[in-house]
Amino acid sequence: MVTIQTADDATESAGATATAFGISYAITSILSALLVIWKESSESVHNALTAITGHHWVTHGVLDVIIFVVLGLVLSRMGGGIRMTGNGLIATVVGATIISGLIIAGYFL
């Protein structure tokens, strides 16, 4: 027998781990988009990123992955978990994706 939870769908959560990593994704994607502008606008930042791994894009990717994983783990282990509704989390993830994409595409347009 399938049980679908229907009690107050608007306030239910998608789960503590999903919420933590969803927020982490949103923050990381915005930071990543801002790093694009920063490194493309500043030769010293670009060179610093290149110096770390040999290529600015590789360093950028490694930083993104580290921030996403560490932030997700920290948020998921906070006492009681992050309180956010499923709809709020979806809006955060989708909104961050659209804003980050527009920042990046807009910069190179």
Residue 37 C-beta: closest distance to other proteins, Å? 10
Q: Are 16 and 82 in contact (CB under 8 A)?
A: yes
Residue 27 C-beta: closest distance to other proteins, Å? 11
Q: Are 13 and 92 in contact (CB under 8 A)?
A: no
- Whole-number Å distance between alpha carbons of 95 and 90: 8
**Residue entry with tokens 């990123």:** 49
Binding site for other proteins (CB under 8 A): 2-6, 9, 12-15, 17-18, 21-22, 25, 28-29, 32-33, 36, 54-55, 57-58, 60-61, 64-65, 68, 72, 85-87, 89-90, 93-94, 97, 100-101, 104-105, 108-109
